[in-house]
Structure formats: C-alpha cells, structure tokens
Structure 1
Amino acid sequence: MKAVIQRVTHASVTIEGEQVASIQQGVLVLLGIVNEDAQEDINWLSNKIVNLRIFADENDVMNKSLSDIKGDIILVSQFTLHANTKKGNRPSYIKAAKPEVAIPLYETFIKQLENDLGKPIQTGQFGADMKVELLNDGPVTIIIDTKNKE
C-alpha cells in the first residue's frame, strides 16, 4: 500500500457535482493498493497514519498526532499512485490491484482507520471520477509505502 498523507485545514470530495465527503482539520489520505497488500499492511499503515506526529503543539512544534487533536480523515482510493513512468511518457498502472482485489482491501482499511481513530472517517467512492479539494496546511505532505517499512 502506498499513501500520500496531506495535513489539511479542510478538504472535500465531490462526485458528479455532489459533495460526498467533507472535513475540517485533519488529513486527506490518497491510497494506492497492489495485489501483494494484506491485513498486515492495513494494520501497520492505519496505525502510522493515526499516530503520525504532524500537528503543532503549544510551542508550534509538530508533536501531536491526529488522535491527539481529534482530527478527521478523508480517504480517497487512487490507483495512479502505483504508476510506472520508466518507459515513455504514458504511465503504466499494471502494479495497481484490480478492483476485485483492491475493493475488499480498501473497505477493510476504512474499518481499520475508524477503529484506530475511534470515530467514523469520510471517504471518496472507489473507482469514481472525483474532484478533491483541499487546503494543505503547512504544506505538510508525507508519502508512505508499506513495502518500505524497514
């Protein structure tokens, strides 16, 4: 699993002109899934996202986590995170998991994030053409790949 985590002051997802998700302070997470991903990746990444100390404390030092500030999450599936751009100018997405593999993992990841955060999260819609709007706070953007844990 690969995730792009962006600290936001607000974010939203719109599909076909209808807003389907909206948060204030928290993180927008773009998630890419490959065939090799498993429950271990879900558990590790969810815990990492909820506990990343990327929010300012009283001394304006990034020392607080999403759970510390009781922030929110919007999770958006994004297969293009696994684009291969080595050859030519047209990216290849062959590494991205097909929907029959990715959807169950995505849905399990949602439940794990909610469990780890202790409250419901907002999501986009898997496979939809989404318009994602955000105000990146900082900017703070972290990229995590569960295949590079060590």
Structure 2
Amino acid sequence: MRALIQRVSHASVAVDGRTVGAIDHGLLALIGVQKGDDAACADRLLHKLLHYRMFGDAAGKMNRDLRQVDGGLLLVSQFTLAADTGKGLRPGFSSAAPPDEGRRLFDHLLTQAHRAWPRVASGEFGADMQVALVNDGPVTFLLET
C-alpha cells in the first residue's frame, strides 16, 4: 500500500457537491492499494499514519505524531497512486489492486482507523471526489508498506 500524506491545517473531500469528510489540523492521507497488498499491509500503514513524526514540537522540529497533536485523520482512496509511471508518458495501472480488493482493503484500513483514533474522516471509495486542503508547511511524504 502507498499513502501520500500531507500535514494540513484543514482538509475536506466532497462528492456531488456535498462534503463527506473534513478535518481541521491533522493529516490527509491519499491511499493507493496495489496487487499483493493484504490486511497486514493496511495495519502497518495505519501504524505509520498514527505514529509518523511530522508535526513540530516546541522547538519546531518534527518530533510529534498525530496522536500527540490530537489531530484529525482524513483517508481518501486514490487508485492512481498505484500507477506504473516508469516508462512512457501515460500511466499504466497493472500494479493497482482490482476494485473489489482495493475497496476491501481500504474499508479494512478505515475500520481499523476508527477503532484506533476518534477523529477519522474519509472520502467515498470509487467516487469522483474533490479534495481541498491547506498543506501546512508544506509537509508531504510518501509512505509504503
């Protein structure tokens, strides 16, 4: 699994003009599921999302995690993160998990996130979504499991 994570001061996701998920200060995670990923990958990714030290401490160093800053977590499925981009000028998606498998693993990640942290929001798997964010820093990382 891949997650493009961004530290945000605000982020939201809308479907058909209605907001389906929003957070204030916290972490926006765009999630890509690849062939061969399983529940253990999702669990490892969630651990990283909750414990990755990307928030500033009193000295301004990235030493604090999402839990320590009491931040929100916005999960958004994004199959394009599983794209093959090594050759040519058009992405291929042969490494992306099939839609049913991607949905199952994204739903597992979301369920586990709700169990582990009280401030979790999400987009809608497979929907045409509009994501808005204010990247704080900017701070962006690509995590892989």
TM-score range, shorter chain: over 0.9
- Structure 2 CA distance for aligned equivalents of residues 18 and 29 of structure 1: 20
Q: Is contact 1:46-1:109 (8 Å) kept?
A: yes
Match of 1:52 in 2: 52
1:47/1:116 contact within 8 Å kept: no
Please state whether the residue corresponding to 1:13 is helix, strand or coil: strand
Report what 1:2 is aligned to: 2
Aligned to 2:29: 29
Equivalent runs, 1:1-150 vs 2, <5 Å: 1-117=1-117, 119-146=118-145
| 1:68 aligned counterpart, secondary structure | coil
Across the aligned residues of Structure 1 and Structure 2, the Cα RMSD in angstroms comes to: 1.1
What do the CA deviations read for 1:89-125 (whole angstroms, capped 9, x no partner)?
22111111111111111110011222232x1411001
Write the distance in 2 (CA, Å) between the matches of 1:43 and 1:95.
Answer: 20
Distance in 2 (alpha carbons) for counterparts of 1:45 and 1:76: 14
Secondary structure of the residue aligned to 1:47 is helix
Q: Secondary structure at the match of 1:46?
A: helix
Work out the number of aligned pairs and report it.
145
Letter in 1 for 2:134: L
Letter matched to residue 67 of structure 2: S
Residue 88 of structure 1 deviates from its aligned partner by 2.6
Segments of 5+ residues of structure 1 without an aligned counterpart are: none
Unmatched runs of 5 consecutive residues or more in structure 2? none
TM-score (norm 1): 0.92
Amino acid at match of 1:36: G
Identity %: 41
Displaced runs of 4 or more, over 3 A: none
User: What is the distance in 2 between the residues matched to 1:89 and 1:33?
Assistant: 22
